[in-house]
Structure 1
Amino acid sequence: MTVEADRVCLTESLGAAVALAGARPFVSMGTATLTYREFNSAVIACSTQLSALGLQAGERVLIVNSAAMQTAILSFACAKLKCVFVIVDPGTSSATMDYILHDCCPALIMGDMAADPRYQAVNVHPLGTTGWLDTRRDSPYVQKGTVCILYTSGSTGQPKGVAISNSGLQFVLAAIQQRLSYLDDDVIACYLPLSFDYGLYQIFLACQARAHVVLRSPAPTSALLVRAIKQDRITVLPLVPSLWEVMVYQFRIRPHVCAGLALRSITSTGQTLQTQLIDEMRGFLPHVEVFPMYGLTECKRVSILLPEEYLSKKGSVGRPLSGTHVWVCDEHGASLIPGEIGELVVAGDHVASYWTSGKTVNDDDVFRTVDSQQRLHTGDYGYIDTDGFIFLVGRRDMLIKRRAYRISLSEIESSLYACPFIKAAAVMWDAEKDMLVGVVVLHPLTDKRVEHIHEYLSGVLEAHKLPDQYIALESFPLTTNGKVNRTALKELWLTRTQ
Structure 2
Amino acid sequence: MSNRPKTNAIEPDPAPRPLDHLAELAGEGGYGARPALVLREGVLNHDELRLRVERLAGWLARELPGKGARVATWSAKGELTCLMPLAAARAGLVHVPINPLLKRAQAAHILADSGAVMLVGTKSRIAALEEGDAPPSCAVWEESECLEAAQNASLAHGPSERDPGELTAILYTSGSTGRPKGVMLSHANLWLGAVSVAHYLGIAQDDVTLAVLPLSFDYGQNQLLSTWFAGGSVVPLDFLFPRDVAKACAKHSITTLAAVPPLWVQLTEIDWPDDAVSSMRRMTNSGGALTTDLVRDLRKIFPDSDLYAMYGLTEAFRSTYLDPALVEKHPTSMGRAIPFAEILVINDKGEIASPGSEGELVHCGPLVAQGYWQDSERTAQRFKPAPLQSQYGGTAVWSGDRVKREENGLLYFVGRRDAMIKSAGNRISPQEIEEAAIATDLVAEAVALGLPDARLGHAVHLVVRGAESAEERSELPKILRQELPNFMQPQAIHWRDAMPLNPNGKIDRTALYRELSGEEAV
TM-score by length of 1: 0.89
Secondary structure of residue in 2 paired with 1:459 = helix
1:88 maps onto 2:98 in alignment: yes
CA contact (8 A) 2:361 2:400 kept: yes
**Between 208-217 and 307-316, the greater mean CA deviation after superposition:** 307-316
Of 470, 481, 498, the match for 2:504 = 481
Deviations 1:270-296 (A, max 9, x none): 112212101121122211110000110
1:129 and 1:382 map into 2 onto residues whose CA distance is 50
CA contact (8 A) 1:154 1:160 kept: yes
Q: How many equivalent residue pairs?
A: 479
CA contact (8 A) 2:250 2:273 kept: no
- Aligned-pair CA distance for 1:99: 2.5
- Aligned-pair CA distance for 1:408: 1.1
Alignment of 1:189-338 (within 5 A): 189-217=210-238, 219-250=239-270, 254=271, 260-338=277-355
**Between 255-264 and 64-73, the greater mean CA deviation after superposition:** 255-264
1:343 maps onto 2:365 in alignment: no
Tell me the percent identity.
27
Aligned to 1:140: none
CA contact (8 A) 1:258 1:284 kept: no
Equivalent residue letter for 1:439: V
Aligned to 1:437: 461
Q: 1:216 to 1:71 in 2, by over 3 A?
A: same
- Aligned-pair CA distance for 1:93: 3.2
Equivalent residue letter for 2:20: V
Aligned to 1:368: 384
1:303 and 1:199 map into 2 onto residues whose CA distance is 16
Secondary structure of residue in 1 paired with 2:24 = helix
Secondary structure of residue in 2 paired with 1:16 = coil
CA contact (8 A) 2:118 2:141 kept: no
- Aligned-pair CA distance for 1:338: 1.1
Equivalent residue letter for 1:231: K
Q: 1:328 to 1:67 in 2, by over 3 A?
A: closer
Equivalent residue letter for 2:102: T
1:36 maps onto 2:59 in alignment: no
CA contact (8 A) 1:220 1:228 kept: no
Aligned to 1:428: 449
Equivalent residue letter for 2:244: L
Secondary structure of residue in 1 paired with 2:381 = coil
CA RMSD of aligned residues (A): 2.6
Equivalent residue letter for 2:326: E
TM-score by length of 2: 0.85
CA contact (8 A) 2:277 2:302 kept: no
Which runs of 5 or more residues in structure 1 are unaligned?
131-142
Q: 1:448 to 1:229 in 2, by over 3 A?
A: farther
CA contact (8 A) 1:7 1:166 kept: no
CA contact (8 A) 2:120 2:141 kept: no
- Aligned-pair CA distance for 1:360: 7.5
2:120 and 2:377 map into 1 onto residues whose CA distance is 26
1:412 maps onto 2:429 in alignment: no
- Aligned-pair CA distance for 1:474: 0.7
Which runs of 5 or more residues in structure 2 are unaligned?
1-12, 151-163
**Between 98-107 and 290-299, the greater mean CA deviation after superposition:** 98-107
1:106 and 1:360 map into 2 onto residues whose CA distance is 19
CA contact (8 A) 1:29 1:216 kept: no
1:6 maps onto 2:42 in alignment: no
1:430 and 1:346 map into 2 onto residues whose CA distance is 30
Aligned to 1:451: 474
1:439 and 1:450 map into 2 onto residues whose CA distance is 12
1:401 maps onto 2:418 in alignment: no
**Between 235-244 and 153-162, the greater mean CA deviation after superposition:** 153-162
CA contact (8 A) 1:353 1:361 kept: no
Q: 1:322 to 1:45 in 2, by over 3 A?
A: closer
Equivalent residue letter for 2:461: V
Equivalent residue letter for 1:377: W
- Aligned-pair CA distance for 1:220: 4.2
Equivalent residue letter for 1:490: Y
